[in-house]
Amino acid sequence: MTVARPFIAFVTATTAGIVENLFNPEAMNKKVSPDLSCPVDACCDGINCSPGEHKHHHTFFEKLLGGFRFAFSDLWGDLAGWFLVGLLLAGLITVLIPDDLFGKYLGSGLPAMLLMLAVGIPLYICATASTPIAAALILKGISPGAALVFLLAGPATNIASLTVLTGVLGKRATAIYLTTIAVSSVFFGLVVDQVYGSFGLSPQAMIGQASEIIPKWAGLICTLIIVFVSIMSLFSTIRKYFKPTVAHIDQSQIDDRLAPLYHPESAGCGPT
């Protein structure tokens, strides 16, 4: 599953792009302006200085430090909340749903994948939160292929993103995007189930034994690091929401009001 998920996502995205270009060749002629601004500390906008000149502004260690700063502050700050939601939902599924419910009434096959597709397309959930939920569903009897459909369709589509895509790219591009994701996820879900069946693999047993790969001391240290980074990121995000806003002051209005002080004659006053 670790190998299949990013590989299938890559194939699905590439297929959607190729199909869109085939049905809408005029869009290929549109020029795209890349963002050339400095990602380390925004020292230049990439317009006034060329990329060749800008690459000498920072050392390798400054770039490395900027990457770690972005990963543990901005990036993880966006993911930490969703990761917590995913863990909570996975825990509820594990505790509240009987072990044989999905295996008895749903299990594997095309019906299970179509149901996961129907749940995943309108649901607003990120890739980070969907991972523990999919793991909990597999433990309850869902096939790996059906879980893969949820992992692909859930983060890639939701009602809000489809509405934005329709307004930005148009109805045809949105229909191609949605159809490609639906067909590809179900097709590759069937392939993954076939692979598990051919090799005689039990996903429930593999998930149950996954924690034995990592030593307990390493798992404890990593857990403490993730908890600490998550708390710091969530605290920073909450502080941004409750931070008092400062009213924007238009500099032109200030200049207009101060103009009589510097030029009295413009306000009807005589020379002093």
17-26, 104-113, 176-185: least confidently modelled range? 104-113
For the chain, state the CA radius of gyration.
26
Task: Give the C-alpha separation, 58 to 65, whole Å.
Answer: 11
Tokens in use for 190? 């069937």
Give pLDDT tens digits for 214-232: 788 888 898 898 888 888 7
Please determine, for residue 271, whether its predicted confidence score (pLDDT) is greater than 50: no
Q: What percent of the chain has pLDDT over 90?
A: 11
Please determine, for residue 152, whether its predicted confidence score (pLDDT) is greater than 60: yes
Task: Give the C-alpha separation, 266 to 6, whole Å.
Answer: 68
Task: Give the C-alpha separation, 151 to 131, whole Å.
Answer: 7
Give residue 205's pLDDT band: very low, low, confident or very high (50, 70, 90): low
Exposure string over 138-170, b if 16+ CB within 10 A, otherwise e: bbbbbbbbbbbbbbbbbbbbbeeebeebeeeee
